[in-house]
Amino acid sequence: MKKAAAIEALKFVKPGMNIGLGTGSTANHFIEALSVKVKEGLDIKGVPTSRASKDLAEKHGIVLTNLDAQPGIDLTVDGTDEFDPELRLIKGGGGALLFEKIVASSSRLMVVIADESKKVEKLGKFPLPVEINRFGTTATAWKIERAFAHLKLDAKLVLRLQDGKPFVTDGGHFIIDCAIGEIPEPGKLHTLLKSIPGVVETGLFIGLCGVVLMGTPKGVKEFRRG
């Protein structure tokens, strides 16, 4: 179903585009599908959102550029951990949320590809990743806890680990995964968390996604914001 959604996303691709390439298993399906078109002669350039997506795109022969050379891009195609009826997202399970958000916010259109398991009525089933500066980790986590308490949200915070050590993002930061449950006001929570010194970015993507393509056993269903 993810692969079907990835292939469907190709309908948004036009010759000459600069395309943001998301990170994760679902986004990888799109990179691979896009590479087939490139081998057939499609002229595009990719803007990877992580070392992993860069390596995969290069492996498949996709010409790459970056936001320094091309600060405004045409399209980003990426996966998601959750999306709600307003096409607000939780992202960051793959650890690339900061770069993904920078690329998405630089794009004319963000298309998200997903399967049915990612659709929720209210965000929060998936733990919210919060990317933080490595300096003052404990102090920043304490302030994050206070922010959740201020909004009367009961959150369990866990520093993400890899091989027994703190996971480090491509940007050199740590990630705190926050198990919250339903988030009644995602926009308010994002604003409050971003006001904390030490918080680099949150996994709440609000007002960025324009289209969700959701793979189902009966085909791909399309949702549009607004």
Place of tokens 């091989």: 163
Place of tokens 């007002």: 207
Q: What angle (nearest 5°) sits at the alpha carbon of residue 167, between those of residues 165 and 173? A: 125
Is 121 among the residues known to form the active site? no
Active-site residue among 82, 100, 131, 201?
A: 100
Burial 62-88 (b: 16+ CB within 10 A, else e): beeeeeeeeeebbbbbbbbbbbbeebb
Distance CA 131, CA 5 (A): 28
The phi and psi torsions of 165 (rounded to 5 degrees) equal: -120, 160
Report the relative pairing of strands 89-90 and 45-48 from DSSP bridges. Answer: unpaired
Q: Are 123 and 82 in contact (CB under 8 A)?
A: yes
In the chain, % helix, strand, coil (3-state, to 5) comes to 30, 30, 40
Specify the amino acid at residue 70: Q
Q: Which residues are catalytic?
A: 100
